[in-house]
Amino acid sequence: MPEPMRILVVGAGGVGSAFVAIATRRRFFEACVVADYDEERAKQAVQLVTDRRFSAAQVDASSADAVAALCREHRISHVLNAVDPRFVMPIFDGAYAAGADYLDMAMSLSRPHPERPYAELGTKLGDQQFAVADTWAGAGRLALVGIGVEPGLSDVLARYAADHLFSEIDELGVRDGANLTVEGHDFAPSFSIWTTIEECLNPPVIWADGRWSVTAPFSEPETFDFPEGIGPVECVNVEHEEVLLMPRWIDAGRVSFKYGLGEEFIGVLQTLHKIGLDRTDPVRVGDVEVSPRDVVAACLPDPASLGDAMRGKTCAGVWVRGTSTDGQPRSTYLYHVVDNEWSMREYGHQCVVWQTAVNPVIALELLATGVWSGAGVLGPEAFDAVPFLDLLTAYGSPWGIREQ
């Protein structure tokens, strides 16, 4: 049995706070420190539960040294990165320096090809982390990357399909959609706008014919009928980690990721790009320098605060097409739906952040009990899907499967 688990959660925003609300109901860990640049926000997340295992701290997520020092101070065994992906590498490096294992829900940032971004690959999502996979493996240490909902649960579902439903897979098509509305707001994203801009405006990556290639943002629109009353939503190609993770462990002819954004959302993102408000490099405004994307984020409501005004459901899943285990053609959608009314009533957190946060809690429980183990930089596909899906159901939020 592994040593008692001591967790550091870096980031006390929507997902970090939802993690606390979910994890407090489980007994697999000894202590959990919730840290944020704004220590008051970390304290608020901890104060929402009456559980002495949780404590709050301040940390600068851009500093690997600061992350490592906090890990050493609290004898941390596992670091969960719950901030946006620009901080992946310092948190990843800080965890390694302190001798802790690492989990994240988004991987190191990509960099499009400087001259032909929609024709040639640049730096892919996760490349910086996979570059040191041998170092982590040699030290007997685990970095479990992409273990949110997407990436994360969809990768687990793909592993399940490959192991139990299909003998040959032609395509793993991740499809993500919702019918969420936010009362009182004309435009209010239900997840981090910083991350949404990053993934939606970068060149999407597709796996086909044994290699990765890029295409244009919002390409190949299709209408996908989502289950449990969500209905048809137009989905388009978006850059996402599943396409970079699944082919490393699952044999599939093609892997794609399409997101149900909607015409209005796409229009807003395209406008932000046209006028340069998607940029992350600072611009001078009077006597100060600010990142345009940070300004956009500051002007919009905090997604974590929208739960009471949100209505509807969100769905994440993977559409698998190929040959079934009995040799017949098969087309199956494996999915997970969360109703905002349920997540608010049961946990006090809106459905998108709850659906993201539940997956690292489950993964940590499997690691704490020794059901999952490994070393190196590994995606969710590297592990047995069945115990994960069993725990997801035990947590009160079952997954589904639909032939189509």
Please state the rounded mean pLDDT for residues 217-228: 93
pLDDT value of residue 193: 75
pLDDT tier for residue 307 given thresholds of 50, 70 and 90: low
Residue 18 and residue 357 in contact, taking contact as beta carbons nearer than 8 Å: yes
| CATH class of the 5-149+353-402 domain in this structure | alpha beta
- Mean pLDDT value of segment 309-319: 93
User: What integer pLDDT is reported at residue 195 of this predicted model?
Assistant: 75
**What pLDDT sits at residue 301?**
73
pLDDT at 308 over 80: no
β-pair type (329-339, 400-403): antiparallel
pLDDT value of residue 335: 98
Model confidence at 295: pLDDT above 90: no
For 65-79, the pLDDT digits (tens) are 999 999 999 999 999
Pair 353, 14: CB distance under 8 Å: yes
Average pLDDT in the 24-43 region? Answer: 97
Q: What integer pLDDT is reported at residue 181 of this predicted model? A: 84
Most distant pair of Cα atoms in the chain: their distance:
68
pLDDT digits (tens, 9 = 90+) for 339-370: 999 999 999 999 999 999 999 999 999 999 99
Going by C-beta distance under 8 Å and a sequence separation of 6 or more, which residues neighbour residue 105? 15, 81, 82, 146, 147, 148, 149, 151, 152, 356, 359, 360
The second-level CATH assignment, the architecture, of 153-352 is 2-Layer Sandwich (3.30)
Q: What is the pLDDT of residues 238-262, one digit of tens each?
A: 999 999 999 999 999 999 999 987 7
Helices 340-347 & 14-23 angle (0-180, nearest 10): 60
Q: Where in the chain is the domain with CATH 3.40.50.720?
A: 5-149+353-402
| Element containing residue 68 per DSSP (H, E) | helix 64-73
- Compute the distance between CA of residue 301 and CA of residue 206 in angstroms, rounded to an integer: 32
Q: Output the average pLDDT for the chain.
A: 93
| String of DSSP letters for 247-271 | HHHS-EEEEEEEE---HHHHHHHHH
| Residue 47 predicted with pLDDT over 70 | yes
pLDDT digits (tens, 9 = 90+) for 175-221: 999 998 877 766 666 667 777 777 778 899 999 999 999 999 889 99
Band (81; pLDDT cuts 50, 70, 90):
very high
CB atoms within 10 A of CB 258: 25
Q: What's the pTM value of the predicted model, to 2 decimals?
A: 0.92
How many beta carbons lie within 10 A of that of residue 165, not counting itself? 16
pLDDT at position 275 is 85
pLDDT of residue 363: 98
pLDDT at 297 exceeding the cut of 90: no
What are the residue ranges of CATH 3.30.360.10 in the chain?
153-352
**pLDDT for the residue numbered 365:** 98
Beta bridge partners of 144: 103, 378
Contact between 111 and 21 under an 8 Å Cβ cutoff? The reply is: no
User: Could you give the CA distance from residue 213 to residue 269 in angstroms, rounded to a whole number?
Assistant: 23
Q: What pLDDT score was predicted for residue 90?
A: 98
Q: 126-158, pLDDT tens digit by residue?
A: 999 999 999 999 999 999 999 999 999 999 999
